[in-house]
Chain A
Amino acid sequence: MFLFVVFALIALAAAVGVITSRKPVYSALFLLLNFATLAALYIMVEAQFLAAVQIIVYAGAVIVLFLFVVMLIGGGELDDIGGRNKKFLARLTWPRGIALVLGLGLLVAVGYGLLSGQLMTATNDAAAFGQGSVQAIAAVLYTDYALPFELASILLLVGMIGAVALAQPPKKD
Chain B
Amino acid sequence: MDYLRNFFVNLARSWTAWIGGFLPDWGVNLVNYLVVGIILVLMPVIATLTLTWMERKVIGRIQNRIGPNRVGPWGIFQAFADAVKMLIKEDIVPSGADKPVFNLAPILIAGAAALLWAVVPFGRGMIGQNLNIGALYVVAVGSITTIAVIMAGWSSNNKFALLGAFRVVAQLLSYEIPMVLSIATVVLVTGTMRMGDIVERQVAPFIVVLPVAFITYLLAAAAETGRAPFDLLEADSEIVAGYFVEYSGLKFGWFYIAEYGNLFAIAAITTTLFLGGWRGPFVSVAPALGPFYFVIKSVAVIFVLMWIRGTWPRFRIDQMLAFAWKVLVPASLANLLWSAIVLQIGRQPEQLGPTIVQMILLLVGNVAILAVTGLLLGRAARRYAAQHGWAGA
Q: Complex: how many Å from CA A25 to CA B162?
A: 14
Q: Which of A10-31 contact B (CB under 8 A)?
A: 23, 25-26, 29
Q: Which stretch of A1-9, A57-65, A101-109, A111-119 is in the interface?
A: A57-65
- A52, A55, A64: the one contacting B173 at CB < 8 Å is A64
Q: Which stretch of B144-152, B207-215, B232-240, B276-284 is in the interface?
A: B144-152
User: In the complex, which residues of chain B have a beta carbon less than 8 angstroms from the beta carbon of A133?
Assistant: 132
Known: A64-B169, A67-B154, A71-B162. A48 touches B132 (CB 8 A): yes
The secondary-structure label for the interface of chain B is: helix
Known: A49-B133, A52-B133, A134-B132. A67 touches B140 (CB 8 A): no
Q: Does B241 contact A (CB under 8 A)?
A: no
Question: Min CB distance, B265 to chain A, in Å?
Answer: 17
The secondary-structure label for the interface of chain A is: helix
Q: Mark B124-157, 1 if CB is under 8 A from A, else 0.
A: 0000000111001101111110110011001000
What size tier do the contact residues of chain A reach? 20 to 34
Q: Complex: how many Å from CA A46 to CA B140?
A: 17
| Residue in A23, A32, A67, A132 whose Cβ sees the most chain B Cβ within 10 Å | A67
Q: Does A147 contact B (CB under 8 A)?
A: no
User: In the complex, which residues of chain A have a beta carbon less than 8 angstroms from the beta carbon of B193?
Assistant: 134
Q: How many A-B residue pairs have CB under 8 A?
A: 69
Q: Complex: how many Å from CA A75 to CA B157?
A: 11
Q: Does A149 contact B (CB under 8 A)?
A: no
Q: Does A68 contact B (CB under 8 A)?
A: yes
Is B133 touching A32 in the complex (CB atoms < 8 A)?
no
Is A56 touching B101 in the complex (CB atoms < 8 A)?
no
Q: Mark B165-191, 1 if CB is under 8 A from A, else 0.
A: 110010001001000000000000000
Q: Does B55 contact A (CB under 8 A)?
A: no
User: In the complex, which residues of chain B have a beta carbon less than 8 angstroms from the beta carbon of A64?
Assistant: 143, 146-147, 150, 169, 173
Q: Complex: how many Å from CA A139 to CA B274?
A: 27
Q: Complex: how many Å from CA A68 to CA B173?
A: 12
B168 nearest in chain A by CB position: A64
What size tier do the contact residues of chain B reach? 20 to 34
Question: Min CB distance, A50 to chain B, in Å?
Answer: 9
Is B140 touching A132 in the complex (CB atoms < 8 A)?
no
Q: Does B98 contact A (CB under 8 A)?
A: yes
User: In the complex, which residues of chain B have a beta carbon less than 8 angstroms from the beta carbon of A26?
Assistant: 101
Is A56 touching B143 in the complex (CB atoms < 8 A)?
yes
User: In the complex, which residues of chain A have a beta carbon less than 8 angstroms from the beta carbon of B136?
Assistant: 49, 52-53, 56, 134
Known: A60-B146, A64-B169. A75 touches B154 (CB 8 A): yes
User: In the complex, which residues of chain A have a beta carbon less than 8 angstroms from the beta carbon of B151?
Assistant: 29, 67
Is A56 touching B140 in the complex (CB atoms < 8 A)?
yes
Known: A25-B101, A61-B173. A55 touches B143 (CB 8 A): yes
User: In the complex, which residues of chain B have a beta carbon less than 8 angstroms from the beta carbon of A53?
Assistant: 136
Is A48 touching B131 in the complex (CB atoms < 8 A)?
yes
Q: Complex: how many Å from CA A133 to CA B154?
A: 38
Q: Complex: how many Å from CA A63 to CA B146?
A: 10
User: In the complex, which residues of chain B have a beta carbon less than 8 angstroms from the beta carbon of A49?
Assistant: 132-133, 136
A-B CB contact pairs (8 Å), 12 listed: A49-B132, A52-B133, A52-B137, A53-B136, A55-B143, A55-B144, A60-B147, A61-B173, A64-B146, A67-B147, A67-B151, A132-B132
B residues lining the A interface (CB < 8 Å): 98, 101, 131-133, 136-137, 139-144, 146-147, 150-151, 154, 162, 165-166, 169, 173, 176, 193
List 11 additional A-B contacts (Cβ < 8 Å) besides A29-B151, A55-B140, A67-B151: A32-B147, A52-B137, A56-B136, A56-B143, A60-B144, A67-B147, A68-B166, A71-B154, A71-B162, A75-B154, A134-B132
